[in-house]
Amino acid sequence: MKPQEPIPHNYPMRKLNLIFALTSLGLLATTGAMVFYDYVRGWKWFQLEFNRIVEERINEQLSVVNDAERKRQLAALEKENREGQIEVARNRNAYVEAQKDLESWEGRHYAADQDYRFAKALLDAKRYEVEAALTQHRGDLREKRREYDELTERVNRLNLVLQQVTRDRDGAAARVERFLTRINEVEERRKEITTDIDLLNKQLRAVTMKSPNNAILNAPMLDFINPTLKIDQVVLNDLFIEMNYMSVPRVDRCQTCHRAIDRPGFESKKEAERLLTELRRNLDKNLIEPSRRADAEERVALLEKTVAAKQDILNPFRTHPNLDMFVGSSSPHPLLEYGCTVCHRGQDRATEFGRAGHTPMSKRMENRWRKVKFPLFPGNWDYKKRNWGYQVNPFLDTPMYPREHSEAGCVKCHAGQVDVEGVERINKATHMVELLGCHACHKINNWRFTDLQKPGPALDGIAEKTTPEWAFRWIASPQRFRSTTRMPAFFYQRNMIGPSVPAAERAQNIKYQDAEIHSIVTYLFSKSTRRQWPAGPAGDAGRGKELVESIGCMGCHIAQDAVKDEKSGAMRVARRDDFPNERHFGFNLTGVGTKTNPNWVFNWVKNPKAYDPQAPMPSLRLSDQEAADVTSYLMALQKPRFMEQPIRPPDVQAVRELTKGYLINTMTDQDAEARLRKMPLRAQLEFLGQRSIEKYGCYSCHDIRGFEGLKPIGTELTTEGSKNMHLFDFGFFGDATHTHGYKAEDGKEEHVLHTVPSWIYNKVRSPRVYDDRRTKPYNDKLKMPNFYLSPDEAQMITSVILGLTKEKVGENRLAARDPRSRQAEEGRKLISQNNCRACHIVNRRGRAIAPLIADENFLPPDLTPQGERAQSPWLFNFLKDPTVMKVRPWMRVRMPTFQFTDQQAATLVAGFAAEGNEQQFDTHQFLTPSAQNVAIGREVFNMLRCQQCHSLTQVDPANPPIPNVADTQSLAPNLTLSKIRLRHDWVADWIRRPDEMIPGTRMPTNFPRDPQTGGFQSPLAMAMDSPQFAAQKAALLPYFENEEALKKTMGDAVALTNYMRDYIWSIGIDRMRAAGAVQTPLRPVPTQPQPSTPRAPASLETRLR
Amino acid sequence: MSLRKHLNLLFMLMLVLAVACGGGKEVVDEEELGEDDQALQTAAAENTGGASSGTPAATTAAVADAATLAGMVKFEGAAAKMPAMQMAADPFCASQHPTPQPDEEVVVGPGGELANVIVYVKNAPAGAPNTTPAVLDQRGCKYIPHVTAVQVGQPIQIKNSDNTLHNVHAMPKTNSQFNEGQPVKDMVSTKKFDKVEMEPFRIKCDVHGWMKSYMAVLPHSYHSVSQMNGQFSIANLPPGNYTLVAWHEKYGQQEQQVTVGPKEQKQVTFTFKG
C-alpha cells in the first residue's frame, strides 16, 4: 500500500492532541487523588496506631506467658505424645484390625439404619392409605389395616436390629479409641495449658497488620467486602439530634477513633490510681462478693501495671474515666445504648477531627491544635503533639462541650431529678441556680426548676421591718451591707457609671439611677402594711449568743462578714463560696440590728409565718425569754457605718424626665406634660416606682402585692443551650473591634471568645459587659443585675444553662421515670427547698452545721437510711410536730417545727419510703413476737451488753429525762421507743451492719463481715464455753434440742439479730402523742392597723416637698 | 523538542512529585507543649520515667553493721495537771480502780521524763514485713499501751480483758475506719492497716468516753514509744543519715537529724516544753 496522505483537518490536531493528553493526565491525577482521599482517611491511621499498641501489648503478654515454665511443660507433653504414638505404632497390626472391624460395623450400621428408615416411611404412607380407605368408605379397608399391622411389626423388628448394630458398632469404636486414649489425653492437657496462648494468638491475628490476609482485606479497591479497618457506629433510635429543622436519630461514630473507650486497660495514670484506691478499699472492707474477688484482684494487678508504666496512654486511645458509671457495659450508660454525643454533644456522624466538633479548652490549646505538618494530607496527625490541623467550624450547630462543661449533658435526661448520683459538679451547679433564684426571673420549663419558692422575702410588710433609709442604701448596693448576699445589684453597674461611659452621661445616669431607687422605696413603703408588733420581755445578749450558736441557727445562717484567708492568714471580706450553700439559705445575720427593730425581730423568731405565711424560716419553738435573749443578741449586731453613707436627694428634673418617658407610651407629649403638672413630686415618685419595679422585675424574686401574675422578667432559658451562636449579642467584642477581653468587677481579666459557652460565662460573670462602649438610650440598656459571681460559680451556672437544650430524648430514656422514683424525687425537692441538709446528712451529703459542733456525739442524725429505718406514720407525726418524741434528748440543736401542710409532710414521708424501697403502711407495729424468741433475745442482748449504752426504761416520749452526758447510757436512743418508730426488719439489719449504713456511727459492729464468705461472723460462737456466760448458757439451753444446736445458733448472726429484734419489740411502747394534739404555742398574729392612709416616715417626707 | 519529549518530561515530573509528596519522614522538632495534661504527661513521663519507681532496697546486707538509736525524752516546765478519769458511769470500771486514775494525756515521770512519745525514723526505707502481732489491751477500762506505733501490714491484736462491753472505734484518715464491739471477756480481734499513716490517729471507746489511744502506721519497724522513765530504743538501724521525729499528743512534734555509723550506739535526747 502506498503511504497515506495526511488527512487535512480543520483544527490544529497537534495542539488538540496535546490538550487531550494533558487533560487526560489531569483526569488521571484527579481520579488518583479521589481514590487517594477516599481511601486514606484519618480514622484509619488511628485504628492502625491502636492496633499497633494492642499488638505490642499482646506480644508482651505472650512473652510473659510463654516463659520457661510453660515451655518445659509443653516439652514434657510433647514427649508423652510421642511415646503414645510409639505405643500405637507398636500395636499397629491390632490397631489396623480394629479399624477395619469398625469400618465393617459402620457399613452394617448404615444399612440397618437405612432399612429402618425406609420401613418407617412406608409405614407412614400405609397409614395414609388406611385413613383414606376409612374416610372414603372403600372396600379394601380391612386389607389395608392388615398390611399396616404387618408393616408396624416389621418396623419394630428393624428397630431392634438397628439398636443392636449400633451397640456393636459403638463397641468397635471404643476398641479403636482405646489405642488412642493416651494421645487424646495428652492433647487435652496441652490444650488446657495453651488456652490463653491460643486466645492471645487469635487476638493477635485479628489485630496485626503484618498478615497478608488483613492487607488484602484492607487494600484500596477491595475494602468494600470485609475490611478490618472500618467505621464503628452505634445507631440510637430514641436519642435525637437537631439537623436542619428535623429531629433525626443519632448515629455516633466516635469509637471509630476512640477505639478503647469502653475497654478497661487503657486508663490514664490518674484514673488508674483513683480506681486502684477504690478497688483496694472495697477489697479491704470485704464489700466484694467472694466469687468476684479473683476478678477484682486481677483488675488491681492490671491497674498497678498501668500506674507503673513509663508513659500515659494518650487520647484517642484512652479508656473513658469512671467506666462503672459511663460507657462500660455494666454501667447505667452503656456505650451501645447511649453513644457519646448525647452527653458530650458534637456532630455525631462525623469521622474527621474538625467536623466532629472537638472544642479546645483554651486559646493556647486552640493554637496548638491549629498546627499541622502537611495540610493537604489526611490523617497521620501528630497526635502525640496534639497538632490536628484544627479550624473553627462556624457552621456547626452543636459543637462539643468544652471539658469543664462536660457535665452539662446530664441535664437533658436528668432534669427530673434533684440530685444526680455519682456526679458532683452539676449537682452543686443546679443547687446554686436554685439558691440564687435564676429560675425566678428566667423561666426554665423543666421539673427541676419549676414549683420552687421565690428566693427573696415578701415585701408587703417592709415598713414594719425596716426603714426607707436602710432600704435605699440596700437597693443601691446590697454587697456593701452583706458581702455574701444573694441579692444582686441592679444599680450603678458598669454600663451606667463604668469606665467606658463618657463623663457627662455618667453624671446623668447617676441622677436617673438615684431617682429610680427613690421611686421604688417610696412606692414600697407607701403600699406596705403597718401592723403593730408587740414588744417582748427584756433579754440577755450573752445568753442569746449562746442560743444562736447552739440550737441550730448557724445551719441555715451565717453571722460573719469577714473570714481568715487560708493562704495569708489575714482577715478579708467573706465571699459566698467561703461557706457551703446550705448556710446561705437564711440571710447573713451581720448588721441585723441596723436593719430592723427589736419588736419585729422578737415576733419573727417566735413565729416567722405570722409575718409572712410563705416564709421559709421554721419556728424553733423558742420560749418568750429565749426569743427575747436572741433578739437582744441580734440587735447588737450593728453596722453603723452603712447608715452613714450619704443619700443624694432625688433630682426633680430626672424624676420628671423618667416619668414623662413612661407617660409618653400611652399619651401624646402635650397630655403628658399636662398630667405631669398635676402630679406633685411624691405622686411622680410613686408612679415611677411602680414602673421601675416592672422594669427591673423585682416582683420575679419578691412577692409584692399588686404584681402577682406578671410574667418573669428574664429571657426564658428552657432551650438556651441550643441557641445558635449568631443569635447572641456579643456587643463590641470580637475581631472587628480588636477587643477580646475585659476586666470583671472583682479585678480579674476575662476573655470573650465567640462561642456560646464563653458568651454565657461572661454574661453571668458581668451581666452588663456586652454594653461596654455602646451608645444606647437609658431605658434600652441591659438590665440584668450583677450577682458578683466568682469564676467558679459562673462556670457552674454556665454548665447548667448549656445543658438546657431542645434536643429530644425518647420518653423511656429519661431518668427517674417510674412512679417510685418520682415519689422519691418529689420528696427530695422538698428537702432541698427546706434546706434539711443544713443540719442532716441526706443521701450521704450535707450537715453543713457539722464544723460548728465540737463534740461529734451532738451532731444531728444522718438520714441516709431514713426511708428504710423509720415507720411512715411516725415520720409523718414527727415532721408535723417534732415534740411528739424526743429520740435524742441529749442534743442541743433543735429540730424546728416547719409548719408543713399535710400535703407537704405526706410528700416527704412518701419520698423517704420510696427511697428506702419500703411501703408506707404496715402492721408490724402490732406484731407480738413469741415468748421463746423474746427470752432468747433477752439473753443474747445481755451477752452483748447492749444495755450499757441503751436504756430500757419506759419514758414519756415527748418528755424524756434530760440525760447526764457523763453517763454512758445517755448518748444512745432509748430502746422502748423502737416499736413505734423503727421498721421491724430494719432493726435486725442495723444491728448486723451499722458501719455500712452510717459510716462513723457510735454503734459498734458486733458482727464483722467474713472476708471469705461475705457473711457475718458472730463473737458469741466460741463465747458459749467461757465461764463468763455460764448463767446465760444455762438459761438458753432449755430452748434448744442440745448444746450443738445452741452453738450453731450462736454462730448465726442473722438468727441472733432476729431474736434481739423480737426482744426489742417486746419491750417497746405502743403509743405516742399525735401531732397537733397540743398546739405548740405560737405568737398570735397581730391586730390590723388603724390608719387607713399610710403615712410615709417623717425623715423622707421632709425631703420630698 | 517534540511532543514525545514534552510528554516524557511531564511524566518524569509527576513521578518525582508522587514519590516526594507521598508522606515523607517526619522531622521531629520540639515545640512548646503547653499545659494540656496529656501532652504534659508525655513530656513529664519521658523526663521522669525512671525516677518515680525508685525505693532503694535496704536489703539484708545492712543488718551486719546495724546500729541502735536510744535515748530519753525529757520534759521541761510545769506539767499540766491531769484531771481524773470519771469512771463512775460504769460500775465495773469504777470497781477496777480503788484510787481515781489521772487522764493519760500527759504522763511525766518524777525526774522530768515524758512518756507516751512515739519516736520514729522519718525517711528510712521500707522494711521487711513484720508478722509479730502488736497488742492493744483494754484492761481496767484503759487502753494499754496508751500510744502505739505499728508497721504497715503488721497484725494488731486488740484484746478485751475486762468483764464489760468495750468497742474499738478507730478513726484513721487514710486507712479504712472500723468500729468493732467486744462484748465477750478475753476476746481478741485481729486487724491490720494497709496504708502508711504517719500522723497518729485516735482509737476510742464509744461506751467509755474517757478511753483514748493513739496509733501510727509506719512503713518500717524503726520506731519506739517512750516508757515511764522516758527511755526509748530503736534497734537494727542501717547506718546512714536520718531524720528522727518525736510526737506527743499534746505537745506536738519535734524533729532531729542524726547520723549513725556502723554498729554505733547513738544517744539522742528530745525535750518538750510545757
CB B114 within 8 A of CB B248: yes
How many other CB atoms are there within 10 angstroms of residue A537's CB atom?
11
For residues A843 and A413, what is the distance between their CA atoms, to the nearest angstrom?
21
CB contact under 8 A, B34 and A17: no
CB contact under 8 A, B42 and A311: yes
Model confidence over B69-125: pLDDT tens digits?
888 888 888 877 888 888 877 888 888 888 888 888 888 888 888 889 999 988 888
Distance, in angstroms, between A761 CA and closest chain B CA? Answer: 22
DSSP label at A648? P
Give yes or no for B10 touching A (CB within 8 A): yes
- Which of B39, B41, B164 is the closest to A945 by Cβ? B164
B 141-200 near A (Cβ less than 8 A): 163-165, 167-169, 171, 176-187, 189, 194
Closest alpha carbon within chain B to A311: B45
Q: Which residues of B touch A949 (CB under 8 A)?
A: 165, 206-207
CB contact under 8 A, B207 and A949: yes
Q: Which residues of B touch A948 (CB under 8 A)?
A: 90, 164-165, 207
CB A348 within 8 A of CB A252: yes
Instruction: Specify the 3-state DSSP secondary structure of A1082.
Output: coil
Distance, in angstroms, between B144 CA and closest chain A CA? Answer: 20
Distance, in angstroms, between A823 CA and closest chain B CA? Answer: 34
Q: Of A243, A198, A244, A264, whose CA–CA distance to A65 is shortest?
A: A198
Pairing of strands A841-842, A749-751: unpaired
CB contact under 8 A, B23 and A380: yes
CB A489 within 8 A of CB A788: yes
- What are A865's three cell numbers? 437510711
CB contact under 8 A, A948 and B194: no
Q: So what's the pLDDT on residue B272? A: 87
- What are A875's three cell numbers? 415520720
Nearby residues of B83 by Cβ (< 8 Å), 6 or more positions away: B102, B103
Grid coordinates 440510637 are at which residue?
Answer: A236
B 45-64 near A (Cβ less than 8 A): 45-46, 49, 53
Provide the angle, in degrees to the nearest 10, between the axes of the packed helices A425-436 and A791-803: 100
Closest alpha carbon within chain A to B194: A284
Give yes or no for B30 touching A (CB within 8 A): no
Q: So what's the pLDDT on residue A474? A: 95
- What are A841's three cell numbers? 446528712
CB A846 within 8 A of CB A840: yes
Omega before B56 cis (within 30°)? no
Give yes or no for B110 touching A (CB within 8 A): no
CB contact under 8 A, A1004 and B209: no
CB contact under 8 A, B35 and A364: yes
For residues A953 and A295, what is the distance between their CA atoms, to the nearest angstrom?
50
Nearby residues of A618 by Cβ (< 8 Å), 6 or more positions away: A608, A834, A896, A897, A898, A899
Give yes or no for B15 touching A (CB within 8 A): no
Looking at beta carbons, which pairs linking B158-162 to residues 24 or more positions away fall under 8 Å? B158/B182, B158/B188, B158/B189, B158/B190, B158/B191, B159/B135, B159/B186, B159/B187, B159/B188, B160/B184, B160/B185, B160/B186, B160/B187, B160/B188, B161/B137, B161/B185, B161/B186, B162/B92, B162/B93, B162/B96, B162/B138
- Which of B176, B179, B184 is the closest to A1026 by Cβ? B184
Looking at beta carbons, which pairs linking B55-62 to residues 24 or more positions away fall under 8 Å? B55/B125, B55/B126, B56/B125, B57/B125, B58/B124, B58/B125, B58/B126, B58/B127, B58/B238, B62/B238, B62/B239
For residues A658 and A687, what is the distance between their CA atoms, to the nearest angstrom?
10
pTM (2 d.p.): 0.81
For residues A583 and A604, what is the distance between their CA atoms, to the nearest angstrom?
19
Q: Of A971, A894, A1000, whose CA–CA distance to A554 is shortest?
A: A894
Give yes or no for B7 touching A (CB within 8 A): yes
Task: Flag residues of chain A having pLDDT under 50.
Answer: 1081, 1084, 1089-1105
Q: So what's the pLDDT on residue A86? A: 83
Instruction: Specify the 3-state DSSP secondary structure of A333.
Output: strand
Closest alpha carbon within chain B to A1025: B184
Could you give the percent of chain B with pLDDT greater than 90?
14
Q: Which residues of A touch B35 (CB under 8 A)?
A: 364
CA distance to A278, A546, A752, A889, per residue, from A550 (Å): 37, 6, 47, 14
Q: Which residues of B touch A1008 (CB under 8 A)?
A: 178, 180, 189
Distance, in angstroms, between B206 CA and closest chain A CA? Answer: 6
For residues A604 and A191, what is the distance between their CA atoms, to the nearest angstrom?
83
- Which of B26, B49, B183 is the closest to A1019 by Cβ? B183
CB A738 within 8 A of CB A463: no
Say yes or no to pLDDT of B23 above 60. no
Say yes or no to pLDDT of B242 above 60. yes
CB A1016 within 8 A of CB A992: yes
Buried/exposed A324-357: b ≥16 CB within 10 Å, e otherwise: eebbbeebebebeebbbbbbbbbbbbbbbbbebb
Grid coordinates 496506631 are at which residue?
Answer: A49
Q: Which residues of A touch B202 (CB under 8 A)?
A: none
Give yes or no for B29 touching A (CB within 8 A): no
Q: So what's the pLDDT on residue B32? A: 36
How many other CB atoms are there within 10 angstroms of residue A583's CB atom?
22
Q: Most A CBs within 10 Å: which of B3, B85, B93, B179, as the mutation test of the A interface?
A: B179
CB pairs under 8 A between A and B: 131
Q: So what's the pLDDT on residue A423? A: 85
Grid coordinates 415527748 are at which residue?
Answer: A958
Q: So what's the pLDDT on residue A91? A: 79
Q: Most B CBs within 10 Å: which of A1028, A1029, A1050, as the mutation test of the B interface?
A: A1028
The residues with which B17 forms a beta bridge, in sequence order, are: none
- Which of A371, A382, A967 is the closest to B89 by Cβ? A967
CB contact under 8 A, A311 and B45: yes
Q: Which residues of A touch B14 (CB under 8 A)?
A: 25, 29
Q: Which residues of A touch B36 (CB under 8 A)?
A: 361, 365, 368, 386
B40 confidence band (pLDDT: 50, 70, 90): very low
Q: Most A CBs within 10 Å: which of B52, B53, B184, B208, as the mutation test of the A interface?
A: B184
- What are A517's three cell numbers? 431607687
Say yes or no to pLDDT of B42 above 60. no
Provide the angle, in degrees to the nearest 10, between the axes of the packed helices A92-135 and A141-207: 130
A648: Cα within 13 Å, side-chain hemisphere: 14
Q: Which residues of B touch A1026 (CB under 8 A)?
A: 184-186
CB contact under 8 A, B184 and A368: no
Model confidence over A194-232: pLDDT tens digits?
787 888 888 888 777 777 888 888 888 888 888 888 899
